[in-house]
Amino acid sequence: MAAAATLRPALPQAGPEQRASSLLCTPKHNRVAAGGRRSLSFAVRASPNSGAKAVSIPKQWYNLVADLPVKPPPPLHPQTHQPLDPSDLSPLFPDELIRQEVTDERFVDIPEEVIDVYKLWRPTPLIRARRLEKLLGTPAKIYYKYEGTSPAGSHKPNTAVPQAWYNAVAGVKNVVTETGAGQWGSALSFASSLFGLNCEVWQVRASFDQKPYRRLMMETWGAKVHASPSPATEAGKKILAADPSSPGSLGIAISEAVEVAAKDANTKYCLGSVLNHVLLHQTVIGEECLEQLAALGEAAPDVVVGCTGGGSNFGGLAFPFMREKLAGRMSPEFMAVEPAACPTLTKGVYAYDFGDTAGLTPLMKMHTLGHGFVPDPIHAGGLRYHGMAPLISHVYELGFMDAIAIQQTECFEAALKFARTEGIIPAPEPTHAIAAAIREAMECKRTGEEKVILMAMCGHGHFDLAAYEKYLRGDMVDLSHPADKLEASLAAVPKI
């Protein structure tokens, strides 16, 4: 991207290898990626369903941009519509996160201080869903990478921890953010508590009301939580004046958090998805998974499935596998699954748009439903975002992946099958991946193919039981994107 060389602070260097205890295996070999240097070293820990072989915590994050044949379009300045200079992001992010946002380096070292926190829950287990396979009667093998073992119960701490650490090292005192279902807000609250940061969260009103225990989690870790739209910001006041009963949206909550960060030099903004550096941090998921599949004797998955809202969960699992496919070492298909009520990839347009409702963020080339689109308050609150990560949108445009949209009743039906066989109650977001994986497994039953299906199980649903109650009582209904509302929001997309 333009002016990437202007921000080149040295990356923190990885420390000495952690010594393995008598219960652990020796580190696995390093990998060399096609077209560049690969020097991954690993701290090895045991993990469920690993066949007693080594499972690893990566020491580097992977950047897919380095291996793409066509680089993604740059973000644009919201006023000039010219490529954004990295320094334009300084009011929102510390220098090292800006550098990671624009870098085209293939690998970025993970600071030892971040790895030390990762060790609280990483490596996360890769589990074969044998009981679900038996229920379905499918010849397919279904594996899920389970991120619900983190303190916040989802994949979000994978990026919350480094974001909090880089801010703390830069001398930042306060961080602000938005959250939908509360997974990201919980993760950043947890990470902020570790590094002595004050944390303030704007939670989408629909989820704030549906999931009070997520708010209590954030407050337990020391965060201040607002229902968004809120009267605490100009952006929130404007929305409330137009619609006092607004259910909120991630776009609105982003506007509120960005507004606060931009006005205070001691405050920085943190984002839980969408941006390049966020997807970068999440690649620990896929890197671990590559090692785990090898330990289990699986050459490669045939299908990689993940739910998509902003894109961090899907990208975190899929991007390392995309690297392997680009290098000719495997050839999986990639399937992103989104809610039918917020079908960003399948119904949105690929265009430059704002990442927030008020138009405070840079313009990003992405699949969008329009920055003014307010989705219906479905239970998968983390997937109610009007845009898709620019990098995932670019990969989708290149034809490297597919996308489908599924209604929430089919997703919860799939979730019950999963919970009653595998024992884990999924968050509403990964139920979309489960539903798509079941579709794929049933197609294998029809054809007799013995495919390996790998899906992202990005979090548990222990704080989402009200949604399950609604489904079990028969009160849950399918919601679609109203055509007139979508047409109006798309009309407001900037003409670049």
When mean pLDDT is compared across 309-313, 333-337, 373-377, 390-394, the lowest value belongs to 373-377
Structure-model confidence comparison of residues 21 and 208, the more confident one: 208
Q: Encode the chain in three state secondary structure.
A: CCCHHHCCCCCCCCCCCCCCCCCCCCCCCCCCCCCCCCCCCEEEECCCCCCCCCEEEECEEECHHHHCCCCCCCCECCCCCCECCHHHHCCCCCHHHHHHHHCCCCEEECCHHHHHHHCCCCCCCEEECHHHHHHHCCCCEEEEEECCCCCCCECCHHHHHHHHHHHHHCCCCEEEEEECCCHHHHHHHHHHHHHCCEEEEEEEHHHHHHCHHHHHHHHHCCCEEEEECCCCCHHHHHHHHHCCCCCCCHHHHHHHHHHHHHCCCCEEECCCCCCHHHHHHHCHHHHHHHHHHHHCCCCCCCEEEEECCCCHHHHHHHHHHHHHHHCCCCCCEEEEEEECCCCHHHHCEEEEEECCCCCCCCEEEEEECCCCCCCCCCCCHHHCCCECCHHHHHHHHCCCCEEEEECHHHHHHHHHHHHHHHCCCECCCCHHHHHHHHHHHHHHHHHCCCCEEEEEECEECCCCHHHHHHHHCCCCCCCCCCHHHHHHHHHCCCCC
pLDDT grade for 386, boundaries at 50, 70 and 90: confident
114-126 residue pLDDT tens: 999 999 999 999 9
Average pLDDT over all residues of the chain: 88
421-470 residue pLDDT tens: 999 999 999 999 999 999 999 999 999 999 999 999 999 999 999 999 99
57-79 residue pLDDT tens: 999 999 999 999 999 999 999 88
Q: What is the pLDDT of residue 496?
A: 85
pTM score of the predicted model: 0.86
Q: Mean of the pLDDT values across residues 203-222?
A: 92
Q: Mean of the pLDDT values across residues 16-31?
A: 32
Structure-model confidence comparison of residues 379 and 163, the more confident one: 163
pLDDT grade for 313, boundaries at 50, 70 and 90: very high
Q: What is the pLDDT of residue 380?
A: 61
Asked if the model's pLDDT at residue 55 lies above 70, the reply is yes
Asked if the model's pLDDT at residue 141 lies above 70, the reply is yes
257-289 residue pLDDT tens: 999 998 998 999 999 999 999 999 999 999 999
Asked if the model's pLDDT at residue 236 lies above 60, the reply is yes
